[in-house]
Amino acid sequence: MTETLTKLRPDRDLQCYFFSPSAIAALSRTSPTGFTVSGCWREQFDWAVIEWNRDNVFEHPALRNLPDGDLSGVQLSYQEARTNCIQLDSTWYPTVDWPYLRIWAEVGKQEVVYKIPLKNYATAVGSFVSPTVQFELQGTITAGDYIELSWLDQHFNYQVTAEDTPATAINNLAYAITSNQSLGQV
């Protein structure tokens, strides 16, 4: 039986990489027309990448197809669903280029990397809910005490005064956080 090999087939020549040791990811349910990537991410900077490499480095040289980076006439179309990940239209700084399709191409004798912003070509299906978190201040507060919240590189605190109740102390901490947001992020 003969088979015509085509480029970018999920069941033949796509590969999955991930940031170890804190993340793990894998391709599954691969077919000629689709695939699923699933994994576990433990840190904000974890990532998983699906890559097509024109140079097939896994098969024996006598059996693999010849390198061919010509993508003329190829049209990419796919559906993506993200669960517990940064949304495609997020305005957060792309620390690991998550909002881009990256294409390495040879122009003349130079390698050029093209970053195509996926959200410019995407159509949202359905809706999502922004994440929220709720904290509760418990116990007895005393003038001079500090209440604090910190995450990653941000740290906010408020020093309790004699006039404060738990509710006013929380409101003052919330004000300190919202008035000091950097780049729209907290």
**What are the tens digits of pLDDT across the range 42-93?**
887 788 888 877 777 777 877 777 777 777 887 777 777 777 777 777 888 8
Bridge partner residues of 39 (DSSP): 25
User: For residue 14, what pLDDT is reported?
Assistant: 83
Instruction: For residues 118 and 100, give the distance between their C-alpha atoms in angstroms, rounded to a whole number.
Output: 5
Which pTM value belongs to this model? 0.54
Instruction: For residues 122 and 81, give the distance between their C-alpha atoms in angstroms, rounded to a whole number.
Output: 12
**What are the tens digits of pLDDT across the range 144-184?**
999 999 877 788 999 999 999 999 999 999 999 888 765 44
